[in-house]
Amino acid sequence: MTYDDLIPVIRKLALEAGDKIMEIYNSDDFDVKVKSDDSPVTAADEAADALISDGLRAAFPDVMLVTEEQAATHSTTGKTFLIVDPLDGTKEFVHRRGDFTVNIALVEDGVPTRGVVYAPAKDRMFYTQADGQTVEETGALDKDTVGDVTPLSVAASDNSALMVVASKSHRDQATDDYINKYAVKDMKSAGSSLKFCLVATGEADIYPRVGRTMEWDTAAGHAVLTGAGGMVVRFDDHSPLEYGKDGYANPFFIAYAPSVDLKPA
């Protein structure tokens, strides 16, 4: 598998999954179930997961696949794999707030190197090209023809007036306490992996996450941010956030533009 092979496949699968999700999102009603970890799951999660996982397995049968909605994949181990969150931000989806995303990434030697984040309700698509540069694609988002793309680069941050983005559904006092260490110009709230993308576009300077996430929640956004010059580090010691961990659970982390002067946890 080469990057030239990978990128068209994950881009198209993300768009196709987005169509499935929006069919259900725009319906009159849909069922919401609760998983063993008390997180919600809908028919949209399951339909998007089936489409993406079938497509990836057909295209890249020799590459390990980890996906949120298939518990059997969570017991596999390795440092190089494809990882999928077919619908990140299910709470945003259920409440019809639009801040949900399709996420597909390639992790190599514990590092997310390529990925796509697609927000179908917002018509925003971000992905790394084969050369590693992150772009936002605009226009019709045709499945077979790439439209106009804008190369992304993180902001040259002003540490006396930072723009912070934080979770819409998981904001807590610990997050606020950390944000208060900075000179903040303004705050944004966003759901799902869109927070990584807002740092990648320069719309925000820093996204701290003081709460539970899994690797499938973050890998695609991490790759998108890296391809725009950004960084993702552990909250506790500011070492790089690594992937392929046992159980695929993340520690707390900070995603940011490198010109931000990080404060101690």
pLDDT at 38: 56
> pLDDT: is 202 or 30 the higher one?
202
Q: What's the rounded mean pLDDT across residues 73-82?
A: 92
Tell me the DSSP string of 89-109: -HHHHHTT----EEEEEEEET
State the first-to-last Cα distance of the chain, in angstroms, to the nearest integer.
Answer: 39
Residue that wins the pLDDT comparison between 98 and 207: 207
> Domain 162-256 belongs to what architecture?
3-Layer(aba) Sandwich (3.40)
Question: Which tens digit of pLDDT belongs to each residue from 157-179?
Answer: 999 999 999 986 667 889 999 99
Average pLDDT over residues 1-29: 94
In angstroms, the Cα distances linking 4 to 184, 187, 206, 226 are 40, 37, 31, 18
User: Of 170, 203, 211, 173, whose CA–CA distance to 187 is shortest?
Assistant: 203
Q: Where in the chain is the domain with CATH 3.40.190.80?
A: 162-256
Work out the average pLDDT over 60-84. 94
Distance separating alpha carbons of residues 237 and 228, to the nearest angstrom? 23
CATH number of 3-151: 3.30.540.10
Q: How far is CA 116 from CA 29, 123, 135, in A?
A: 28, 13, 10
**What pLDDT score does 170 carry?**
66
Comma-separated ranges of CATH 3.30.540.10 domains in the chain = 3-151
